[in-house]
Amino acid sequence: MAWRCSGSSNAGLVANMWTHGLITEPLVKEAFLKVDRRHYAPGMPYQDSPQPIGYEATISAPHMHASAIENVLSRLLPSETSPAPRVLDIGSGSGYLTHIFAELVGDRGLVVGLEHISELRDLGEANMKKSPEGKKLLEAGIAKFVVGDGRLGWVEAARAGEEQLGTAWDVIHVGAAAKEVHSPLLEQLKAPGCMFIPVDDDSTGWDQSVWRIEKDEEGKVTRKKLFGVRYVPLTDPPRR
């Protein structure tokens, strides 16, 4: 079905994903419409397919980004119990999904795009600055990009006045295939919280599946396999 979702414009791409049920929530549709993929994809931005962005990395197909957002939406939006959602976007790459997350977390939310290659960290930030909406989110501190090892997660200090909310992540999205669900990610996931992560199904790294991992209020972890995928590996930066 994914090939049917390509469009000749950002609005056309989003409309096709909506028509084919890849986007089902109006808030998600609105966020995708606000973030023009041409600022993030180097060529054929409205094609529903992955594209290389350099440094052995890719920007995923739009339907994969839609799936990621909808699978974590219950923990992504601000609520009475979580007024300032915190999102960690591991392997943020082009910055596209980081921007969409930032459109959804509300005025008190925080989205951190984590990259292990400094040039990709810079690319994500530069891409977000291409639009007034993205630039505003960066200047407001709702979105930021950092360099680090995604397998270790990231600890971001609480903002002044929000120390009681802690530093755990309501949502962790991983945009590269992990060899396992690394323990630091589970430890940094809030209770309640959820994670969207592709994991190698065997030692060869050729078979991968996306898992939705949920942590409830008591800290109990449940895992649900969603579908098979092909992602670049969550590993050391390539040698240059």
Q: Is the CB of residue 177 less than 8 Å from the CB of residue 235?
A: no
Per the domain annotation, does 210 fall within a domain? yes
Per the domain annotation, does 220 fall within a domain? yes
- Higher-scoring residue by pLDDT: 7, 144: 144
Give the span between the Cα atoms of 92 and 172, in whole angstroms: 11
For residue 189, give its domain range. 63-229
Segment 200-218, tens digit of pLDDT? 776 544 578 888 999 999 9
* Active-site residue identified among 6, 60, 67, 92: 60
User: Average per-residue pLDDT in the chain?
Assistant: 90
H/E stretch holding 108: none
Task: Decide if pLDDT at 193 tops 60.
Answer: yes
Percent of the chain having pLDDT more than 90? 74
- Higher-scoring residue by pLDDT: 49, 135: 135
Across the range 5-12, mean pLDDT stands at 91
Q: How far is CA 153 from CA 9, 16, 24, 42, 46, in A?
A: 35, 34, 30, 28, 31
Q: Give the pTM.
A: 0.92
192 contact partners, CB below 8 Å, separation of at least 6: 75, 214, 215, 216, 217
Per the domain annotation, does 46 fall within a domain? no
Give the span between the Cα atoms of 212 and 150, in whole angstroms: 17
Segment 29-61, tens digit of pLDDT? 999 999 999 999 988 999 998 999 998 889 999
The domain tally of the chain equals 1
Q: Is the CB of residue 88 less than 8 Å from the CB of residue 116?
A: no
Nearest to 183 by CA among 221, 146, 147, 231: 221
Give the span between the Cα atoms of 77 and 100, in whole angstroms: 12
Percent of the chain having pLDDT more than 70? 91
H/E stretch holding 8: none
Per the domain annotation, does 16 fall within a domain? no
Per the domain annotation, does 213 fall within a domain? yes
Q: How confident is the model at residue 231 (pLDDT cuts 50, 70, 90)?
A: low
Give the span between the Cα atoms of 127 and 107, in whole angstroms: 21
Task: Decide if pLDDT at 103 tops 70.
Answer: yes
CA 14 to chain centre: 17
Let me know if 131 is a catalytic residue.
no
Task: Decide if pLDDT at 1 tops 50.
Answer: no
Indicate which CATH number applies to the domain containing 170: 3.40.50.150
Per the domain annotation, does 208 fall within a domain? yes
The confidence score (pLDDT) of residue 2 equals 43
Per the domain annotation, does 14 fall within a domain? no
Per the domain annotation, does 51 fall within a domain? no
H/E stretch holding 190: strand 189-200
Give the span between the Cα atoms of 228 and 151, in whole angstroms: 21
